[in-house]
């Protein structure tokens, strides 16, 4: 069984698992080690400290108890279990294995005889089961439990955790199947959990139940006026764009794509694809961030993409990767890897501090103010942390979500089909898998995106001739590809291919132009009209006040897009000005553009490295001079 989070029964491309792809170094290799050594244990510490794990053992006593955490806190334990399972599968950590077994025992204490499992409902002094499907999150929590069980089953095999999850999945089918409760959960997740658990276990009824939940969206079974928030306003087949709560919308899209793949529903696939493509074109920030409104953590209207009010929740970034990956597998179009790369490098990479112990919940593209002292020692409100990453939040969906994603990241690097091997994300890696006619092994060597050179060395080929396909990002005009014959040619954005009966020691080299470049926004995005951004390869850059002359506030900067960005001693700089202002009436006719401004070189850093050197204001979109 492949060690991968997503394994469709039918798809254009077949994903490779952690047993076939290992990240061997570079930024993401270090991030995986930090995740294993710090982030997972940090999350465990907080879940124990706040009593969210203890809820399970207290619920199992049958007595009334004081429950800790929000209504969805059970899901954080399940996401941590998934992170632990993937990490055990990646590294074989005996310490994590022992803790996973103990965690299984703790969760099992709350499992009821009919498969119901919740610490929030159904116990003495609590509301009855399934009496708050709008906000209770019972099914949402089950979805994360099932995804954790998939990770455990694919990396370890059947055990008590998987058996527990089977009981829960059977309970869901018995309770919400035909003739049962014909409603949905206010937060999509059970759909993707059931669909993937069906793949892992071979149980058709789980896929059937996932399809039932997908089909019930749009039947307006949830109460209240905010049906768009829950994606209960329209059937998935009929919607034109992702809307409402961003994470809910993306998890629903992922579940719908899983159901479409395994049932052969081409109309459902095309419906989600249509919604996704329009969302990328109209409702996505340059960083790949999704969700432009703090209110409801939601998508806003088309082109309503204000940088300083961007929510761009870290979990929405993960949901975006989940959706794009499923579209890539289903369609075989490598271009879906572009948005995965954009989200991964600009949202996910920056959502966790370098030490792995503090996190951004929201990822706005401009920080106007900041708190002088970062939060420490206590959970903070989930909407923000004053320009700092926080060690924990009262709604801590993001830390555990990031932990499970980083632990399984190698599964998003490569795929195969009947014709060969495809590379989607570029990082140092060893890949060994079987093609149709035999085993192959390659090594990817690169320091991308520090440079744009990616070298693929063939270590083994017993498959005869096959095709190596490489994703060329949409920004990479002028990319160069060199095959084993030494011939160098220009390749266009999209898919670059070399077909050969490769010999051990052969190399293929892709050179991507990763120099800094100006980027302009669609003029319909009013909030950044008259502004430009700078990108460098897949990285979005930003200006922080700590880098500017005299520590100038970034609100006082402007730049000259007529002069190309340059790299000086490893730092990207652009020509511009610092403006000095006085407090006065801020409106007038014909202001003097030269008054109070001084020429300056504006230094830029990757967006994911913001807020790592002390308090600072920050912005991605820079006004033009």
Q: With b meaning 16 or more CB within 10 Å and e meaning fewer, what string describes 243-273?
A: bbbbbbbbbbbbbbbbbbbbbebeebbebbb
Least confident of 220-224, 262-266, 430-434: 220-224
- Parallel, antiparallel or unpaired: strands 531-536 and 539-544: antiparallel
**Residue 154: pLDDT over 90:** yes
- Total-model pTM: 0.97
For residue range 172-197, what is the model confidence (pLDDT) as tens digits?
999 999 999 999 999 999 999 999 99
Q: With b meaning 16 or more CB within 10 Å and e meaning fewer, what string describes 21-36?
A: bbbeebbbbebbebbb
pLDDT on residue 462:
97
| Mean per-residue pLDDT of the chain | 95
Return the residue matching tokens 């069980």: 149
464: how many CB neighbours lie within 10 A of its CB?
A: 12
Return the residue matching tokens 């970062």: 374
The class level of CATH for 418-511 reads mainly beta
For residue range 370-384, what is the model confidence (pLDDT) as tens digits?
887 788 777 777 666
For residue range 3-29, what is the model confidence (pLDDT) as tens digits?
999 999 999 999 999 999 999 999 999
pLDDT on residue 141:
98
Fold entry, domain 14-412: Glycosyltransferase (1.50.10)
CA angle 272-278-282, nearest 5°?
A: 145
* Domain spans, the chain: 14-412, 418-511, 518-623
For residue range 446-491, what is the model confidence (pLDDT) as tens digits?
999 999 999 999 999 999 999 999 999 999 999 999 999 999 999 9
* Distances from the Cα of 324 to the Cα of 6, 288, 289, 341, 405, angstroms: 12, 11, 13, 10, 14
Where does the pLDDT of residue 260 fall: very low under 50, low under 70, confident under 90, or very high at 90 and above?
very high
């Amino acid at each position: 069984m492949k060690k991968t989070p997503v394994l469709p029964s039918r798809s254009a491309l077949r994903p490779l698992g952690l047993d076939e792809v290992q990240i061997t170094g570079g930024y993401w290799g270090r991030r995986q080690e930090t995740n294993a050594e710090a982030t997972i244990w940090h999350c465990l510490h907080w879940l124990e400290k706040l009593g969210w794990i203890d809820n399970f053992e207290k619920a199992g006593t049958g007595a009334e108890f004081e429950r800790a955490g929000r209504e969805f806190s059970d899901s954080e334990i399940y996401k941590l279990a998934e992170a632990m399972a993937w990490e055990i599968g990646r590294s074989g950590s005996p310490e994590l294995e022992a803790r996973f077994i103990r965690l299984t025992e703790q969760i099992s204490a709350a499992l009821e005889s009919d498969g119901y499992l919740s610490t929030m409902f159904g116990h003495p002094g609590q509301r009855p089961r399934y009496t708050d499907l709008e906000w209770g999150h019972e099914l949402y929590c089950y979805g994360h439990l099932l995804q954790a069980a998939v990770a455990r089953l694919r990396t370890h095999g059947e055990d008590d955790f998987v058996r527990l999850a089977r009981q829960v999945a059977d309970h869901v089918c018995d309770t919400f199947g035909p003739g049962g409760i014909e409603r949905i959960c206010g937060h999509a997740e059970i759909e993707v959990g059931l669909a993937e658990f069906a793949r892992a276990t071979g149980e058709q009824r789980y896929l059937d139940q996932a399809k039932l939940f997908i089909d019930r969206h749009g039947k307006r079974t949830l109460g209240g006026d905010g049906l768009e928030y829950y994606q209960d306003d329209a059937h998935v087949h009929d919607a034109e764009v992702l809307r409402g709560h961003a994470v809910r919308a993306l998890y629903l899209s992922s579940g719908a794509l899983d159901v479409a793949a395994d049932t052969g529903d081409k109309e459902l696939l095309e419906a989600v694809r249509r919604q996704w493509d329009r969302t990328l074109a109209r409702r996505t920030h340059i960083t790949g961030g999704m969700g432009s409104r703090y209110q409801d953590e939601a998508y806003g209207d088309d082109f309503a993409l204000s940088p300083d009010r961007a929510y761009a929740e870290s979990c929405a970034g993960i949901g975006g990767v989940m959706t794009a990956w499923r579209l890539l597998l289903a369609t075989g179009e490598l271009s879906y890897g572009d948005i995965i790369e954009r989200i991964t490098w600009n949202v996910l990479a920056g959502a966790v501090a370098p030490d792995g112990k503090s996190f951004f919940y929201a990822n706005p593209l401009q920080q106007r103010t900041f708190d002088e002292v970062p939060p420490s020692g206590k959970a903070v409100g989930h909407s923000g942390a004053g320009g700092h990453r926080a060690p924990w939040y009262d709604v801590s969906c993001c830390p555990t979500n990031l932990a499970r994603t980083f632990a399984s990241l190698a599964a998003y690097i490569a795929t195969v089909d009947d014709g060969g091997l495809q590379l989607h994300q570029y990082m140092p890696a060893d890949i060994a898998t079987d093609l149709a006619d035999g085993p192959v092994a390659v090594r990817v060597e690169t320091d991308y995106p520090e440079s744009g050179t990616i070298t693929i060395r063939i270590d083994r080929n017993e498959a005869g001739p096959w095709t190596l396909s490489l994703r060329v990002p949409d920004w990479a005009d002028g990319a160069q590809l060199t095959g084993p014959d030494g011939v160098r040619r220009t390749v266009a954005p999209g898919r670059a291919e070399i077909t050969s009966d490769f010999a051990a020691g052969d190399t293929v080299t892709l050179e991507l132009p990763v120099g800094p470049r100006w980027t302009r926004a669609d003029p319909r995005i009013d909030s950044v009209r008259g502004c430009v951004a700078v990108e460098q390869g897949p990285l979005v850059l930003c200006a922080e006040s700590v880098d500017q002359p005299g520590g100038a506030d970034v609100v006082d900067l402007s730049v000259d897009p007529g002069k190309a960005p340059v790299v000086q001693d490893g730092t990207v700089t652009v020509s511009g000005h610092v403006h000095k202002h006085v407090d006065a009436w801020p409106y007038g006719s014909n202001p003097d553009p030269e008054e109070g401004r001084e020429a300056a070189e504006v230094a830029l850093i990757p967006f994911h490295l913001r807020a790592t050197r002390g308090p600072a204001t920050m912005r991605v979109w820079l006004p033009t001079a």
